[in-house]
């Protein structure tokens, strides 16, 4: 998480899951969020996901596009529809519900 945008992918090419994690600098909350996300993805979507981390401190203009106001925010770009999960993703159950990996 040293640059504005990291891509984590098991294999190259299009993935079924495209996730964007918006953060503002390397705050404990954003680091926590990233670690939590990584773990959930590995547990449930191994090999089928791609995570892009966007640091709004470096790219503030990107906040508007995805309607970001709270941080950290995880945006599920694919599969559609777009879903948003805000917070440090510490509640795994809620994250899975938010990503539609678990029924509500």
Contacts of residue 86, Cβ cutoff 8 Å, sequence gap at least 6 = 70, 71, 72, 73, 74
Task: Read off φ and ψ for residue 85, nearest 5 degrees.
Answer: -130, 120
Instruction: Name the one range near other proteins by CB under 8 A: 7-15, 45-53, 60-68.
Output: 60-68
Q: What track of x and - describes contact with other proteins for positions 39 through 58 (by CB under 8 A)?
A: -----------------xx-
Q: Does 10 sit near other proteins (CB under 8 A)?
A: no
Tell me the sheet residues that pair with 57. Answer: none
Nearer to other proteins, 9 or 63 (CB): 63
To the nearest whole angstrom, how small is the minimum distance from the Cβ of residue 12 to other proteins?
29
With the CA atoms of 62, 16, 95 and 55 taken in that order, what torsion angle do they form, in degrees rounded to the nearest 10? Answer: -20
Name which position in 46, 64, 80, 103 contacts other proteins (CB under 8 A).
64
């Amino acid at each position: 998480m040293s640059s504005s945008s990291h891509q984590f992918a098991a294999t190259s090419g299009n993935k079924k899951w495209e996730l964007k994690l918006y953060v503002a600098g390397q705050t404990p909350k954003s680091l926590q969020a990233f670690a939590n996300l990584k773990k959930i993805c590995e547990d449930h979507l191994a090999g089928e996901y791609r995570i892009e981390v966007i640091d709004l401190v470096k790219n503030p203009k990107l906040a508007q596009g995805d309607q970001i106001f709270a941080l950290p925010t995880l945006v599920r770009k694919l599969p559609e529809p777009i879903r948003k999960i805000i917070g440090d993703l510490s509640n795994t159950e809620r994250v899975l519900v938010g990503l539609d990996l678990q029924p509500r």
